[in-house]
Amino acid sequence: MLWKSMNVEGRGRALFLVLVMLLSTTAANLVSASTSRTYTTDTDPVDVALGDFDCDGDLDIVTANDRSTKISVLWNENGHFQERTDIWTSANQNQDADFEDHSNTQQVEVGEFTGDNAIDIVIYARNRPLTQDASGALVVDTPGNVTIIENGGCNEQTFSIGEQYDVIWMWD
């Protein structure tokens, strides 16, 4: 009844909004933010996934790095990510590779893809130019733009390039 009578006078919504704002402000003061941390990866990380690659019970971080020839794995040791492994995702494994050689990995996901019970990585790399032959047909050559990166196994901290697939988007 109170709400209805206040609504008739046109003050109910304003009072409700003020009450919500006061409660929100009070609640915000009761919560503290944790300390920010910065971790070094390769060039321009654009996507992240979590997986326990070394089977120690801690979630490790893998980043997809745009404008790069690598992805980065940050190893979680009890909440600290001090060790990093870079995995080459380009055929040109030269630190000074040209832009055309960069894999430009845009997306990264994790899962068990090879049947060995070790968490693997799958990436989508967009810098895979499609070429055409003399008749105009698409030429699909390796490496593919979707790649499974196989985990060498628990406690190994090694990875290798596995199966590669071509994903071609067509529209008109």
pLDDT digits (tens, 9 = 90+) for 49-76: 999 999 999 999 999 988 787 899 999 9
Q: Is the separation of the CB atoms in 60 and 53 below 8 Å?
A: yes
State the pLDDT at residue 119: 96
Residues linked to residue 71 through DSSP beta bridges, in sequence order: 87
Round to whole Å and give the CA distance between 41 and 38: 10
| DSSP characters over 92-149 | ---TT--GGG---EEEEEEE--SSSSS-EEEEEE-----EE-TTSPEE--SSPSEEEE
Asked whether the predicted pLDDT for residue 87 surpasses 60, the reply is: yes
Residue whose structure tokens are 């109910």: 12
Per-residue model confidence (pLDDT) at position 94: 57
Residue type at 114 in one-letter notation: T
Q: 81 pairs with which residues across the strands?
A: none
Tokens standing for 69? 């020839």
CA angle 73, 119, 153 (to 5 degrees): 85
pLDDT at 138: 55
The answer to whether the predicted template modeling score (pTM) of the entire model surpasses 0.75 is: no
Task: Please name the residue that has the structure tokens 């745009």.
Answer: 66
Q: Each residue of 13-22: pLDDT tens digit? A: 444 444 444 4
For residue 74, CA distances in Å to 79, 101, 147 come to 11, 24, 20
Domain ranges of the chain: 45-165
